[in-house]
Structure 1
Amino acid sequence: MNFLFARRYFTSKKSTNAITLIAWISISAIMVGTAALIIVLSVFNGFEDLVKGLYADFYADLRITPQVGKTFVLTPKQIQQIQNTGGVAFYSLTAEEKALLVNGDNQSIVFVKGVDSSFTHVNPVQTHLIRGSFNLGTLQKPQLVVGAGIENALGLDVEKSLYPVTLYMPNRQSANMLSAEGLYSYNAMPAGTFMIQEDFDNKYVFTNLAFVKYMLNMDANTFSAVEIKLTKNANTQQVQTELQHLLGNSFKVQTRYQQNESLYTVMEVEKWVIYGILSIILIIAAFNMIGALTMLVLEKQKDITVLKALGASDGLIQKIFLTEGFLLAAVGGGAGMILALIICYIQIKFHLVSLGGGTFIIDYYPVKLALGDFVLVIATVFVIALLAAWFPAFKAGKEKLSLRS
């Protein structure tokens, strides 16, 4: 019954046009706020998926590193146990160290990552080559695959390079790293250029594992990390627990999320902050709703009096105006969702809104619609509508009116 009265009050002509105007202003504000929330959250979802995808192409499903220091010793027996662990599809042994890369007068501080022949099964970095080939060379003739930022900083052209670049790496046996004996140098030919994400493109150089171990005087069983690719249906946490139990506390086994925990945390916090800021639009719309419902209560004083004379309780009167508030929110929220769906579909289909600068991996705003965002926005709209409608509804229920004028 309360819905019938609320619908009647919503559609009927008011004695004062200002009441209708304020009601439609509140509906419009709710529509804009709802649409803005869904659109912005969807764009955040798109960027989050894009960034996670880029990081997923660089970080392994699981990574084993030492708890203390940069390197660890891994026996052939332990390597075999890792390979035989359920859920492990491929593994790759790596050695990594900071180095200085010099090309003529240009130089850059880089991280040199030596990888074995299984690395391409664990990490699809070779699919992100933009020039050259993923050829890492041999111990005697090392070749380098460099990030696009490093290529630019050193003035390289991997496809036309006639001269090698010089790689300087620390001599761990030297007591003074700043002396001439503190660095080893070796010439290597650039073979390819990859472009994944700026953090990697400006930082990493890939070459073969044997060469890096030779430069760092590492023993045959000494490595910096083991990177693991899991099978399709593997339980990541279960495999992580098994490997941690197998290797002991001197090793650290991290999932892809744990390798980038700060990144994922920042992205999640940013999304919630934006959600909170845009919710203010809905709160502003709530003030319009309070005004519209308060004026409607004044408009319908005679109706309230008649209903009470017929036996209607204060609770029923309150429910009528609460339902009226929900009806305003439903119309505005529903229209906002339809508007957001249309805008998001157009952006997904035609990429109308572009990113400025043209330096990012894509040139348009990515959008991903998520059911959870719609549920969250619906809940937000109706909670705000409940709070906004409560005061006018409570006032209407407590009105002490008489049929006599």
Structure 2
Amino acid sequence: MNFLFAWRYFKSKKSTNAINIIAWVSVSAVIVGTASLIVVLSVFNGFEDLVKSLYATFYTDIKVVPASGKVMKLSGSQLKAIAGIPGVASWSQVMEEKALLKNGEASTIAYLKGVDSNYTSVTTVADQVFAGKFATGDADKPFAVLGVGIENALGLWSDRTLLPLTAYLPRRGAGMNAVDPMQSLSAENLYTSGSFAIQQDFDNKYVITNLPFMRRMLNLAPDEFGALEISIDKGADEEEVRRVIAGLLGNKFSVLTRYQQNQGLYSIMQMEKWVIYGVLSLILVVAAFTMIGSLTMLVLEKRKDIQVLKAMGATNGRVQSIFISEGFLLAAIGAIAGTILAFIICWAQVKYKLVALEGGTFVIDYYPVKFHPRDFLLVFGTVIVVSFLASWFPAKKGAMEPVQLRS
């Protein structure tokens, strides 16, 4: 019944056109606010998914690292137990260390990452080869796959270079020689087989080679390595698998999910999303002020109706509910229209790429979009709260309107 009254008040002709104009202004503000929130949050979702997919190429589902230090050991029985955990698809031993790479006069600092033969089973880095092929060689003749940023810094073509690079790594257990610092480093030749292009954070930082070469360079034992990278089956519960592995290995190891490996990045992305949400919600605050004005004028317009309703037995609560319902009606019209507008804008962006990314150096050339149901719930919840607060004060004023009896 409340919404029936609200609907009649909304569509009925008012004595002053300003009331209708202000009502439609408030509806328009809700439309703009709703559409803006949905579109921007959807764009953030698109970028978040894109970044996660790029990082998922390099970072595995789960990673086991030593709780302290850089080197770890796992027995054959422990590795077998990990492989037998439900949800674990494959694992790979890796070791990475910062190295100096030289190509003639050109040199750069990079992270040299040694991987075993299972590495292509736990990541998709091999699918991102930009030039040449993904080949890491063996301990006797090591090959390297360079990030394209490292390739550019060294001034070479990784798939065409005949002469090897020289790799310098810190010698394990050797102290710093102040007279000749190079005596504290191990140096060996490293041939290039190709380059990969994933994302600048990786392209400008990593060079991938084989694990036996890294063990020899760092003077590690045959069963020592830096981390165990694990892929899980599709549909497996990542957190549950992590918990089981952590319980199996104990507190000498840290077991990290992909989110925990990049917690800083994901936290910043979520913070940016919430900040944008807060800023764009100000549009709905503007809508709230116009809604207050519209409903206040409507209360003044419907004084006689209020008195008639009270004379017929309507309580103050009933009258207040009617005008609160009027506010919800204005908000609902704006929210539905704004949602439809957001769908149209996002559909056009995906289909026609209306807004392009400048520069031409990113992996895509347009702003990505992805809808999440929780964003719609968040926006609708915000609209409901704003409309309720905006309706409360005018509705309260209408409910307190005194009944005047005429003789």
> Match of 2:378, SS?
helix
Shift of residue 59, structure 1, vs aligned partner: 1.0
Deviation at 1:401, TM superposition (A): 4.4
Q: 2:259 is matched with which residue?
A: 257
**Hey, what does 1:229 align to over in structure 2?**
231
> What amino acid is the match of 2:56?
A
Question: Could you tell me how far apart the structure 1 residues matched to 2:241 and 2:168 are?
Answer: 38
Structure 2: distance between partners of 1:313 and 1:177: 90
- Counterpart of 1:269, as a letter, is M
CA distance in structure 1 between the partners assigned to 2:406 and 2:17 by the alignment: 26
- Structure-2 residue corresponding to 1:359: 361
Question: For residues 275-313 of structure 1, what are the alpha-carbon distances to aligned partners after superposition, in whole Å with 9 as ceiling and x for unaligned?
Answer: 111111101110000000001111111221222222222
Counterpart residue identity of residue 6, structure 2? A
Which residue does 1:128 correspond to in 2?
128
Could you tell me which residue of structure 1 aligns to residue 207 of structure 2?
205
1:62 aligns with 2:62: yes
- State whether residues 177 and 183 of structure 1, in contact with CA within 8 Å, keep that contact through their aligned partners in structure 2: no
| Deviation of 1:365 (Å) | 0.6
Does residue 33 of structure 1 match 2:42? Answer: no
1:44 positional shift: 0.8
Match of 1:7 in 2: 7
The CA deviation at 1:403 is: 5.6
Q: TM-score, normalised by structure 1?
A: 0.96
Quote the offset at 1:77 in angstroms.
Answer: 3.1
Q: Which stretches in structure 2 are left out of the alignment for 5+ residues? A: none
Structure 2 counterpart SS, 1:141: coil
Is this contact kept in 1: 2:6–2:322, CA < 8 A? yes
Verify the 8 A CA contact 1:144 1:206 in the aligned structure 2: yes
- Aligned mate of 1:215, from 201, 214, 217: 217
The amino acid of 1:330's aligned partner reads A
Counterpart position of 2:98? 98
Q: Which amino acid aligns with 1:87?
A: G
> What's the secondary structure of 1:70's corresponding residue?
coil
- CA distance in 2: counterparts of 1:73 and 1:307, whole angstroms: 82
Task: After TM superposition, give the deviation of residue 47 of structure 1 in Å.
Answer: 0.8
- On the 8 A contact 2:83/2:90 being kept in 1, the answer is yes
Which residue number in structure 2 is paired with residue 193 of structure 1?
195
Distance of 1:76 and 1:195 partners within structure 2 = 35
Match of 1:382 in 2: 384
How many residue pairs match? The answer is 405
Note the C-alpha offset of 1:143: 1.1
What displacement does 1:180 show? 2.4
Q: Contact 1:351–1:365 (CA<8 Å) still a contact in 2?
A: yes
**What is the RMSD of the two structures over their aligned residues, measured on CA atoms?**
1.6
Residue 17 of structure 2 corresponds to residue 17 of structure 1: yes
SS at match of 2:174: coil
Residue of 300, 303, 315 corresponding to 2:302:
300
CA drift at 1:233: 4.0
Counterparts of 1:247 and 1:149, CA distance in 2: 37
TM-score (norm 2): 0.96
Please report how far the alpha carbon of residue 177 of structure 1 lies from its aligned counterpart in structure 2 after TM superposition: 5.5
- What is the identity, as a one-letter code, of the residue corresponding to 1:245? G
Structure 2 residue aligned with 1:113: 113
Identity across matched positions, percent: 56
> Structure 1 runs of 4+ off > 3 angstroms?
none
SS at match of 1:57: helix
Range that drifts further, 370-379 or 85-94: 85-94
- Partner of 2:157: helix, strand, or coil? coil
Shift of 1:43: 0.6
The aligned residue for residue 169 of structure 1 is 169
